[in-house]
């Protein structure tokens, strides 16, 4: 199967499951052995985020990040440093235990909309 078509199928399945994330665990029947890792982040200004990550055997990674009170499914993309996840107009950028959430519609040099997030243990 064409890798692009397979990736689109996987992304479509993930997006379909993202809507039910609050009601039931997110599962990937076509990707055996994929279990989420979930972290809580404390962010500047008192915001807290509960984020789940999935890494697949084919090298893809996904993150379920709450944005404006709703879970969005992010897909990893190329990054010079850390892991950069993209969902629609939003970017969730992690570097070690640190992360920031950006709105790309705010411009290329805009500050994060949620900044200074640090993994809590």
Write the secondary structure of 59-114 as one string of H (helix), E (strand) and C (coil): CCEEEEEEECCEEEEEEEECCCCCEEEEECCEEEEEECCEEEEEEHHHCCCCCCCE
- Is the pLDDT at 64 greater than 60? The verdict is yes
Quick one: average pLDDT of 90-103? 98
Domain that holds residue 89: 3-23+34-120
Residue 37, CB half-sphere, CA atoms under 13 Å: how many?
9
Quick one: average pLDDT of 7-13? 40
Task: Please state, as a whole number, how many other Cβ atoms lie within 10 Å of the Cβ of residue 83.
Answer: 19
Quick one: average pLDDT of 91-101? 97
Residue 29, domain member (yes or no): no
User: Total domain count for the chain?
Assistant: 1
pLDDT digits (tens, 9 = 90+) for 16-46: 444 434 456 776 677 666 788 999 999 999 9
Return the CATH number at 47: 2.40.128.200
Residue 28, domain member (yes or no): no
Rounded CA Rg of the chain: 14
What proportion of the chain, given as a percentage, has pLDDT over 70? 74
Quick one: average pLDDT of 54-63? 88
């Amino acid at each position: 199967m064409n890798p692009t078509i397979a990736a689109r199928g996987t992304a479509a399945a993930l997006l379909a499951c993202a809507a039910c994330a609050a009601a039931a665990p997110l599962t990937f029947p076509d990707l055996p052995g994929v279990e989420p890792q979930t972290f809580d982040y404390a962010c500047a200004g008192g915001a807290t985020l509960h984020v789940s990550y999935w890494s697949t055997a084919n090298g893809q990674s996904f993150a379920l990040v709450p944005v404006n009170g709703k879970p969005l499914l992010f897909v990893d993309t190329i990054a010079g440093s850390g892991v950069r996840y993209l969902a629609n107009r939003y970017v969730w950028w992690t570097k070690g235990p640190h992360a920031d959430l950006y709105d790309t519609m705010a411009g290329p040099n805009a500050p994060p909309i949620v900044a200074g997030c640090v993994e809590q243990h």
